[in-house]
């Protein structure tokens, strides 16, 4: 019993270490375009990353945590020792990349490490799940690049007024925010609720038999209110209005990143909390959120600078164009329960938006830096799986742990 307690304690520390690393690494990327556009300072951006990402972790982190903890291997239940091997491997690799200024994709690394430890435990490959996740991953750079390029082209088109294009885009984001699922909002059948859903039920729209229509209408009203607020800001001062829109979008994306990334740190411990500790998952998400908070505060400035300055220096409009696809893709991943790398999400958007006007210009994209990063993505997943597999066997061979 004392040996099991010790292993669980080590696994919890490893999860906290991993969430700290995620907060320093993956959750830093969303704020980078706002810093690059000089709408926020690096230090203020790091402060906001920690707070907002931690809130997103608790509010939206459950689905991806479930996938990491139960969906990547078949036939076995992840043990505290396997969870420890997974988290130590992933956190170490990401920390090494962080220290060298190359954002290592947490989703690739954790997924590879979780599969490696699960197979070492005797589990089988969840091939169907891998195919779905890989398909989603491959679609990210294409979909995001195209969307970010198109939005940047629209926003930079001088024939389209800023007071028309930016409020309409803000309204779309407002509608989406009204419909995202949040753990602290009630919903039927113990599901997570949305702002639009709660308002609809509060006014008894669902009782008329048109609940879905009511949710759409409430979301539309919230979207229109967002349009009105942003339009009013732009009419007062265009530059100030654009910068405030940029910062607001940055915070929305950081919140989403916390929800999509915390599961990478807490997922391996899902079965441990259920079987060994008997605690609800919200406590696990709270632990992950705490780690993300401190990681964002203490380690993210370097990565914010790397993404903001070295991949592409975006102006405010192209930064807005980068944020919107990142937000939509990440929310889709949360709904589906697919782990994603926010480094990949943000870099794909930054590249797409940065290509408007030509990548050869001084404000374009660093192709060399991007190439090194793609290589790191592949190596992190394969290497994470191999190292985690070996580390599990090493730990299992130690006296009192096997």
pLDDT of res. 362: 41
Averaged confidence pLDDT in the chain:
83
In this model, does residue 175 exceed pLDDT 90?
yes
Mean pLDDT confidence for 351-379: 65
pLDDT band at 117 (very low <50, low <70, confident <90, very high): very high
More confident residue, 4 or 296: 296
The Cα–Cα gap between 175 and 215 comes to 10
Mean pLDDT confidence for 138-152: 92
Which one, of 78, 81, 65, lies nearest residue 5 by Cα? Answer: 81
User: pLDDT over 70 for what percent of the chain?
Assistant: 84
Mean pLDDT confidence for 90-119: 81
Residue 26 DSSP code: G
In this model, does residue 360 exceed pLDDT 60?
no
317 in Cβ contact with 306 (< 8 Å): no
The Cα–Cα gap between 120 and 387 comes to 11
Which stretch of 67-71, 123-127, 166-170, 187-191 has the lowest confidence by average pLDDT?
187-191
pLDDT of res. 369: 62
Mean pLDDT confidence for 31-43: 76
pLDDT of res. 164: 93
Residue 199, phi then psi, degrees to nearest 5: -65, -40
Geometric angle at alpha carbon 364, from 363 and 367, rounded to 5°:
140
What pLDDT, in 10s, does the model give residues 329-347?
A: 999 999 999 999 887 788 7
The Cα–Cα gap between 176 and 180 comes to 6
pLDDT of res. 150: 94
What pLDDT, in 10s, does the model give residues 246-256?
A: 889 989 999 99
Global confidence as pTM: 0.84
The Cα–Cα gap between 393 and 117 comes to 9
pLDDT band at 87 (very low <50, low <70, confident <90, very high): confident
pLDDT of res. 327: 93
pLDDT band at 166 (very low <50, low <70, confident <90, very high): very high
Structure tokens given for 343:
């480094």
pLDDT of res. 390: 94
The Cα–Cα gap between 162 and 146 comes to 21
pLDDT of res. 15: 85
The Cα–Cα gap between 389 and 383 comes to 10
Structure tokens given for 393:
């066997």
pLDDT of res. 273: 76
In this model, does residue 241 exceed pLDDT 50?
yes
pLDDT of res. 126: 92
3-state helix, strand, coil in the chain (%, to 5): 80, 0, 20
pLDDT of res. 402: 60
pLDDT of res. 389: 94
The Cα–Cα gap between 23 and 9 comes to 21
The Cα–Cα gap between 170 and 246 comes to 10
Geometric angle at alpha carbon 176, from 296 and 50, rounded to 5°:
10
The whole-angstrom distance between residue 124's C-alpha and the CA centroid of its chain comes to 27
285 in Cβ contact with 62 (< 8 Å): yes
pLDDT of res. 311: 47
């Amino acid at each position: 019993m004392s040996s099991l307690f010790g292993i669980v304690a080590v696994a919890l520390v490893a999860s906290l270490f991993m969430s700290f690393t995620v907060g320093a690494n993956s959750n830093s990327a969303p704020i980078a375009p706002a810093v690059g556009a000089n709408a926020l300072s690096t230090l203020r951006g790091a402060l906001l990353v920690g707070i907002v990402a931690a809130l997103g972790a608790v509010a939206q982190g459950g689905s991806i945590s479930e996938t990491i903890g139960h969906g990547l291997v078949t036939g076995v239940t992840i043990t505290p020792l396997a969870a420890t091997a997974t988290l130590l491997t992933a956190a170490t690799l990401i920390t090494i990349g962080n220290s060298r200024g190359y954002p290592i994709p947490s989703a690739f690394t954790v997924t590879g490490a979780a599969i490696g430890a699960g197979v070492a435990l005797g589990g089988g490959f969840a091939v169907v799940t891998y195919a779905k996740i890989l398909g989603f991953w491959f679609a990210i750079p294409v979909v995001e690049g195209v969307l970010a390029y198109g939005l940047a082209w629209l926003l930079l088109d001088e024939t389209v007024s800023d007071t028309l294009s930016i409020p309409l885009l803000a309204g779309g984001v407002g509608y989406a925010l009204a419909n995202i699922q949040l753990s602290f909002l009630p919903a039927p059948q113990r599901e997570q609720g949305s702002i639009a859903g709660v308002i609809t039920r509060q006014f008894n729209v669902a009782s008329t038999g048109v609940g879905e229509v009511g949710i759409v209408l409430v979301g539309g009203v919230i979207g229109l209110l967002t349009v009105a607020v942003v339009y009013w800001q732009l009419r007062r001062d265009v530059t100030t209005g654009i910068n405030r829109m940029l910062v607001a979008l940055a915070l929305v994306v950081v919140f989403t990143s916390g929800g999509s990334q915390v599961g990478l740190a807490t997922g391996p411990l899902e079965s441990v909390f259920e079987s060994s500790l008997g605690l609800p998952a919200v406590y696990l998400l709270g632990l992950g959120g705490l780690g993300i908070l401190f990681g964002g505060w203490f380690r993210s400035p370097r990565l914010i600078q790397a993404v903001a300055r070295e991949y592409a220096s975006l102006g405010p409009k192209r930064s807005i164009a980068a944020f919107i696809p990142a937000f939509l893709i990440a929310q889709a991943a949360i709904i589906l329960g697919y782990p994603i790398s926010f480094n990949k999400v943000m870099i794909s958007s930054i590249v797409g938006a940065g290509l408007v006007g030509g990548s050869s210009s001084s404000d374009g994209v660093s192709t060399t830096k991007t190439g090194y990063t793609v290589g790191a993505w592949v190596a992190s997943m394969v290497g994470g799986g191999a190292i985690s597999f070996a580390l599990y066997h090493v730990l299992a061979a130690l006296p009192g742990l096997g």
